[in-house]
Amino acid sequence: MDDIEQIRRLIFEYCYATDSGDKEAWVGTFTEDVIWDGPFGSFSGRDGGRAFIGDSDTTGMRHLTTNSIIDVDGDTATGRSYTLVMIAGEAPSVMFAGIYQDRYVRQNGRWLIAERHLLPGPAALKSVQNEVAAV
């Protein structure tokens, strides 16, 4: 599996770990010194992630993360992906829509999330438009 596919798998592992409520698997997708921020709060480090997720029940969520654009440079990479978080049930509903802007690092042969910024709706779109305009 090439680097981009390994990073895509990491992105999906993050989603499945969140949605299954497996907090240690979720924290395991991060580097020890991860930086995570977004409209729901922020944290740094794996211990900060554990405190951030706390006793939250995330098993009713379904993270749909798509359209990932990933650029690899040796043992580091950057990426952005659309994310749609649904509340599962008979009549699923949208909880959140936005974009992940990520930085990844390969450590001990495994890709991990080193930095994740979650941008909501209009802010996310504006960020992508600015990147495209700069090209």
**1: confidence class by pLDDT, cuts 50, 70, 90:** confident
If one counts the domains in the chain, the total is 1
CA dihedral defined by 70, 76, 78, 82, rounded to 10 degrees? 60
CATH number at residue 39: 3.10.450.50
CA 52 – CA 130 distance, rounded (Å): 30
- End-to-end, the C-alpha distance of the chain in Å comes to 29
Give the tens place of pLDDT for each residue, 19-68.
Answer: 999 999 999 999 999 999 999 999 999 999 999 999 999 999 999 999 99
Whether pTM exceeds 0.85 = yes
CA 73 – CA 126 distance, rounded (Å): 26
Which domain, by its residues, includes 80?
A: 3-134
